[in-house]
Structure 1
């Protein structure tokens, strides 16, 4: 007992002695308008001491040896700052650092890549971050978030110009869409309407992680898109932002005029902060370059969209926070038109004609997201921690289809309940080697079905329980060499009740295609063990290489397999899950005001997820797949008020039809357009004048050609195999600051009034989606901030 007491006393004296020789640095990071900058990076040059600012811009560096240092501070969209600091023994150095707006670069902070805040230069893979400024810039042209992402993200397939992102893959595979880490899509039955899950005015930042990843679990075969919602940017108790806008066609304005209003209140008082916002948009008729009304199937014309957003936060201390977020979104089309289907073989576009729409309005009937988060720092072993509990429910209604007996509309109904917990614990091996370990557990219950609106069952209810522990290690060697590696175990159980397949008809002949028959349900179980590893070397700005291997996991749209079943028991259906292996290598080069990035990738899977129609039935092909491609990005700040940039994306893929391990045999087949997009080029030019009061932005998107398939015996192309002819789109926007609080904006979409078929219309070859793209349209708005 005496020995124990002596040991404890000696230990305490040692601790006191060590702490007496050190001090600490505490402070906040703000922008030039005194608004806090969350998730900024702060570190002492030449040491392994660093931290990330919290939601209020606060940071603390503990146990800093007495001496003189240079403190490096950076944040998303701001210039990195270096300042001298002197730390004295036993004292706390108080700082307040202000950052000026700057060029997008390696200092941007992301939270989606590793479940904990870190700068891009700590991630050994390709990431695209859209800041709030970039989102607002594109909203001057269009409020359709699908278009915004398509114009900004290399590797993301071209926009469909509709409410559906079906066929809009990320590097040739489906992606997982999230709001603050809460899944919006479900691999059980992916209806590909998940990208339009909220209004862009509620988004603070978008993080796109490209390539298969398992960090958030099931479904991220091609990567993930995470919408980070708004946070209060002012320290004062009350601020507001009001937006009023009007849209319409420049080809034929009749009945095309729409309106948009958005109101946001936000602020901070004491330990409490809040954001409250609402947005409403009503669109008029959307018209193509010839002035014809675009057809209603998946259309965005004549649509009413609502968004309500609430975020409430309470800081118990500077490093302990409770946050509640709720978002409601609805977007329903109430059209006076019905489609008059064209003919792909004769290149006759599908038109809209006046008529009574059958069924109920199509679109997002409702999407609810509720998230409660508790986070903090300096727990045991100086760990950062975060715990989430969330709920999400959505009903997406599709257009009326004569394929069902007596016609009908299907809808995807999904309800998710989940909890996540993660701890990030720092460690230090020596003065040159340190890092952190992030570990935790995810639990998700997802109940999804696809009934018809009238109650008939098309896809039965699938009840999934997904439990997944994970661990992620990061090690930094001599500040410049970063190693990351991780492991995740997926345990998935899906229960399906007995059901009867739905009777379907041939719309042309009226004959019964599928008479319907009973299928015995049961339980499907999956276990997967997924790994990732990567290296990045940051020694030289001129050449920063990185390479990584990562695996993703997906249950591959089981709902499609169930609804097209031709066997009497789900145990006989090929529902095996897919494990994707993603290999990539790239580099970043920075010299002066120029930034270049290039990355090449290969993605393989032993099981496929491509589909094709056989005898009128959609069948999933389970043969092995291999996808490859590359992406290039260039940005340059030519002058203080002039910047420009460009991107290029290329992807190609095949499936090993004869399953012999080779993808170069004559029997092997290229993947169709629903998976592989044509090459995409983008470019932009930004110019500011009149002391930055007037800002101009010219944006270009070019879609290249892809022709990989021969015609069938009927002299046309099979579904998904149509050739894509190139087209080019140019957008122009201008923003003028009338006063300190008021800004007038104007944007023109498809400035040159390009008459084109979007890529999906070309490769799908079906008259149901053989529609032209939107013609020239205007968007004017005024923003008042108080």
Structure 2
């Protein structure tokens, strides 16, 4: 009995010791670095456990002694490192070397073809405003019209206003979208669509210049797509809180404002989510002299709110269902009434204390609901994406004094949009030398738009558009480097217009300019095919050239023509659509730390639309004639070393009207396109300096070059939209300090050198109520906490 008992005890002891050994945990410590120095706040995952490095790149984590270790280390701006270690026998110290990623190659864009692809495979000019750039710009000013003007070559300068009148792409109208859902209405382009969402909920902004077959009506000049946040699915629950305080540095009184943003995100089983809320209130905007900036559409004294939610569900690895909701509102609640400027003497518009006329202006509300379903590996490895969306918005405009029936009037723009989109992609060929894919689908859109006055009178009648558009795009890559893309889209548009009665419009003296009369409505029909083709050669990074041709289509601003009708039936009004031929050639070049790109473009249309000022009636009317627009863009960035990066761009655009429609643009009666369409040349630059891992400093520059194309009228001033633009130069400074891995403090100074200037739109618009100066030196202090 005893020997047997002894043997049994021995076996049990060995089993217990083995169990203890197998359950032992050991400490894995390490340093994350690159070829130059430590990498702070990297993420390290060992099997199912995750931790973060500190400011000096050190980390530690406890691991089982008996397991093979699969380690993954990642950090922003670096390639992810993956390696496997044998089971540890004791506490161990390791050094993990990360390799800096090529940020330009790491970028992806979806707007050009509705699928993720590298910008190097896009056969047109593309600009991406990354999340990092957005965060830098928000630290100074979260206004999207300014962010786009500062970051995108070819984008017209900002007016620092709730309206983006005159801000277009290369002189043509653009389609503004949120995740591919249009925020613009070609029926009545209210030119307020750029401010449709808060930049804090964006992953990036994609700007594609020139038309594509993938997107149609309204994208004659290109598109701006606000791509919303992708949730961080590494956590079950995470969040971020941003608090900003801002003020004028010229005159503090009543200029203080604040902004708070709260976000939560994560993943639970097969669900992922992002929810966010933003509230912002600005104080009085002061110019360089400390005076109140003219209140017409000013962003001063404005209350802005944004609510955002994105919920995703992945029942299997090849399926995803996603629901997105976004609400945006930005209303100006000013304590000032307008004091007009004087165009002849150069006296700026400003404000005096008093209750403004009418109701608060700007985006009263903008609701977006977007449901999408994606499934991969259907028949022939085809992927399918289905989108269903709904958008409803109302925008409020300023009060026009004494214009409508001899009295005041304030208008609203109503837009109600719903649609469905089917998008399929099928791989056709995949060999060592040829890759070919076919993308195809159909867009169905219902857009109902009107522009009544606040008191209920009809100014622009209800326009109900049905747009049906099948499309197809082929992508072929030959010998791995030659990219060929070609596509076709067919637009079928039907617009029903109600019968309506025009409003009697008067001039400043009360005399009738246009009488009130009945106009018979009806149906407007448009059918047109659009073609695009492009070729790009990517063999050599030093020189990657491309050429492209694309056709764009836009139902012209019918609402503007209808409200200014001079005849009694819409079939007698010139409501022909605008079809544009875009030609572009350019190249990209990469050499070590230098990136350089250049593009030249030309666009023509047999029938364009330009808003021109009639000094006899003091009204803006539309002009329909052939148009030609041309220009070029240059952009470069250079990584001098790990600490210092410099970048810059230059944009030039010119345009003319063939007034006598003889195919020539140099006749005496032919004219330049005005400032509302063609912006002054623009220069941008930046210097980013990070002397330490936890400190970064950025100096941004935006310069507008002089432009003078028209002659003054008999009163000694320029006509509306034709004013000369005088040059000005703006510098913004942004400094950031990372206190620890979760907390960052930022300081932004707008108009660093307190430039005293009129924004470009104030100069060319030539309207006394909008002849306002730009904002003077202002500060924005913020703190961001992640958890």
Task: Give TM-score scaled by structure 1 length.
Answer: 0.87
Alignment of 1:100-499 (within 5 A): 102=101, 104-402=103-401, 403-405=403-405, 406-428=407-429, 430-499=431-500
After superposition, the C-alpha distances for 1:710-742 in whole angstroms (9 at most, x for unaligned) are: 112222211111111100000001010111111
How far apart are residue 470 of structure 1 and its match?
Answer: 0.2
- Which position in structure 2 is the counterpart of 1:562? 562
How far apart are residue 404 of structure 1 and its match?
Answer: 2.4
Please give the alpha-carbon distance, in whole angstroms, between the structure 2 residues aligned to 1:205 and 1:109.
Answer: 10
Q: Tell me, what secondary structure is at the counterpart of 1:317?
A: coil
CA contact (8 A) 1:599 1:631 kept: yes
CA contact (8 A) 2:649 2:684 kept: yes
- CA 1:563/1:303 → structure 2, altered by over 3 Å: closer, same or farther? same
- Which position in structure 2 is the counterpart of 1:736? 737
- Which position in structure 2 is the counterpart of 1:651? 653
- CA 1:540/1:81 → structure 2, altered by over 3 Å: closer, same or farther? farther
How far apart are residue 430 of structure 1 and its match?
Answer: 4.3
Q: Tell me, what secondary structure is at the counterpart of 1:110?
A: coil
- Which position in structure 1 is the counterpart of 2:778? 777
Q: Tell me, what secondary structure is at the counterpart of 1:639?
A: coil
Q: Tell me, what secondary structure is at the counterpart of 1:413?
A: strand
Would you say 1:33 and 2:43 are equivalent positions? yes
- CA 1:211/1:158 → structure 2, altered by over 3 Å: closer, same or farther? same
CA contact (8 A) 1:34 1:234 kept: no
Please give the alpha-carbon distance, in whole angstroms, between the structure 1 residues aligned to 2:44 and 2:771.
Answer: 51
Please give the alpha-carbon distance, in whole angstroms, between the structure 2 residues aligned to 1:742 and 1:78.
Answer: 19
Please give the alpha-carbon distance, in whole angstroms, between the structure 1 residues aligned to 2:290 and 2:499.
Answer: 50
- Which position in structure 2 is the counterpart of 1:512? 512
- Which position in structure 2 is the counterpart of 1:578? 578
CA contact (8 A) 1:32 1:99 kept: no
CA contact (8 A) 2:364 2:395 kept: yes
How far apart are residue 638 of structure 1 and its match?
Answer: 0.5
How far apart are residue 581 of structure 1 and its match?
Answer: 0.5
- Which position in structure 2 is the counterpart of 1:665? 667
How far apart are residue 381 of structure 1 and its match?
Answer: 0.7
How far apart are residue 81 of structure 1 and its match?
Answer: 7.6
CA contact (8 A) 1:77 1:101 kept: no
Please give the alpha-carbon distance, in whole angstroms, between the structure 2 residues aligned to 1:207 and 1:589.
Answer: 20
Please give the alpha-carbon distance, in whole angstroms, between the structure 2 residues aligned to 1:214 and 1:672.
Answer: 29
After superposition, the C-alpha distances for 1:284-332 in whole angstroms (9 at most, x for unaligned) are: 0001111111122111111110000000000111221000000000001
- CA 1:34/1:757 → structure 2, altered by over 3 Å: closer, same or farther? farther
- Which position in structure 1 is the counterpart of 2:553? 553
After superposition, the C-alpha distances for 1:222-258 in whole angstroms (9 at most, x for unaligned) are: 1100000112124111001001110110000000000
CA contact (8 A) 2:295 2:337 kept: yes
Q: Tell me, what secondary structure is at the counterpart of 1:407?
A: strand
Please give the alpha-carbon distance, in whole angstroms, between the structure 1 residues aligned to 2:447 and 2:354.
Answer: 38
- Which position in structure 2 is the counterpart of 1:521? 521
CA contact (8 A) 2:188 2:449 kept: yes
Please give the alpha-carbon distance, in whole angstroms, between the structure 1 residues aligned to 2:652 and 2:362.
Answer: 31
Alignment of 1:742-781 (within 5 A): 742-781=743-782
Please give the alpha-carbon distance, in whole angstroms, between the structure 2 residues aligned to 1:184 and 1:269.
Answer: 32
CA contact (8 A) 1:564 1:617 kept: no
- CA 1:83/1:266 → structure 2, altered by over 3 Å: closer, same or farther? closer
CA contact (8 A) 1:682 1:700 kept: yes
Please give the alpha-carbon distance, in whole angstroms, between the structure 1 residues aligned to 2:577 and 2:82.
Answer: 52
How far apart are residue 780 of structure 1 and its match?
Answer: 0.4
Alignment of 1:77-96 (within 5 A): 78=77
How far apart are residue 503 of structure 1 and its match?
Answer: 2.2
CA contact (8 A) 1:77 1:104 kept: no
Please give the alpha-carbon distance, in whole angstroms, between the structure 1 residues aligned to 2:383 and 2:81.
Answer: 25
Please give the alpha-carbon distance, in whole angstroms, between the structure 2 residues aligned to 1:336 and 1:538.
Answer: 57
The worse-fitting range, judged by mean Cα deviation, of 257-266 and 395-404 is 395-404
Q: Tell me, what secondary structure is at the counterpart of 1:711?
A: coil
How far apart are residue 647 of structure 1 and its match?
Answer: 0.4
Please give the alpha-carbon distance, in whole angstroms, between the structure 2 residues aligned to 1:663 and 1:546.
Answer: 28
CA contact (8 A) 1:181 1:216 kept: no
Alignment of 1:596-615 (within 5 A): 596-614=596-614, 615=617
CA contact (8 A) 2:514 2:566 kept: no
Give 5+ residue unaligned stretches, structure 1: 1-30, 36-74, 86-96
Would you say 1:623 and 2:625 are equivalent positions? yes
Root mean square deviation, CA, Å: 2.0
The worse-fitting range, judged by mean Cα deviation, of 215-224 and 328-337 is 215-224
CA contact (8 A) 1:245 1:259 kept: yes
Please give the alpha-carbon distance, in whole angstroms, between the structure 1 residues aligned to 2:528 and 2:154.
Answer: 27
Please give the alpha-carbon distance, in whole angstroms, between the structure 2 residues aligned to 1:191 and 1:34.
Answer: 49
CA contact (8 A) 2:683 2:704 kept: yes
How far apart are residue 457 of structure 1 and its match?
Answer: 0.6
Please give the alpha-carbon distance, in whole angstroms, between the structure 2 residues aligned to 1:574 and 1:225.
Answer: 28
Please give the alpha-carbon distance, in whole angstroms, between the structure 1 residues aligned to 2:724 and 2:430.
Answer: 57
- Which position in structure 2 is the counterpart of 1:590? 590
Please give the alpha-carbon distance, in whole angstroms, between the structure 2 residues aligned to 1:778 and 1:84.
Answer: 46
- Which position in structure 1 is the counterpart of 2:685? 683
CA contact (8 A) 1:338 1:355 kept: yes
- Which position in structure 1 is the counterpart of 2:50? none
How far apart are residue 78 of structure 1 and its match?
Answer: 4.7
- Which position in structure 1 is the counterpart of 2:33? none
Please give the alpha-carbon distance, in whole angstroms, between the structure 1 residues aligned to 2:230 and 2:612.
Answer: 44
Give 5+ residue unaligned stretches, structure 2: 1-40, 46-73, 85-95
How far apart are residue 217 of structure 1 and its match?
Answer: 1.7
Please give the alpha-carbon distance, in whole angstroms, between the structure 2 residues aligned to 1:84 and 1:353.
Answer: 67
Q: Tell me, what secondary structure is at the counterpart of 2:251?
A: coil
- Which position in structure 1 is the counterpart of 2:8? none
After superposition, the C-alpha distances for 1:36-84 in whole angstroms (9 at most, x for unaligned) are: xxxxxxxxxxxxxxxxxxxxxxxxxxxxxxxxxxxxxxx9985568999
Please give the alpha-carbon distance, in whole angstroms, between the structure 1 residues aligned to 2:322 and 2:743.
Answer: 31
CA contact (8 A) 2:339 2:769 kept: no
Please give the alpha-carbon distance, in whole angstroms, between the structure 1 residues aligned to 2:455 and 2:607.
Answer: 35
CA contact (8 A) 2:123 2:535 kept: yes
The total of aligned residue pairs comes to 705
How far apart are residue 424 of structure 1 and its match?
Answer: 0.6
- Which position in structure 1 is the counterpart of 2:643? 641
- CA 1:101/1:181 → structure 2, altered by over 3 Å: closer, same or farther? farther
How far apart are residue 107 of structure 1 and its match?
Answer: 3.8
The worse-fitting range, judged by mean Cα deviation, of 673-682 and 228-237 is 228-237
After superposition, the C-alpha distances for 1:164-195 in whole angstroms (9 at most, x for unaligned) are: 11001110111110000000011100111100
CA contact (8 A) 1:735 1:746 kept: yes
Task: Give TM-score scaled by structure 2 length.
Answer: 0.87
- Which position in structure 1 is the counterpart of 2:726? 725
CA contact (8 A) 2:213 2:472 kept: no
Please give the alpha-carbon distance, in whole angstroms, between the structure 2 residues aligned to 1:185 and 1:371.
Answer: 16
Please give the alpha-carbon distance, in whole angstroms, between the structure 2 residues aligned to 1:246 and 1:100.
Answer: 37
CA contact (8 A) 1:496 1:522 kept: yes
CA contact (8 A) 1:140 1:779 kept: yes
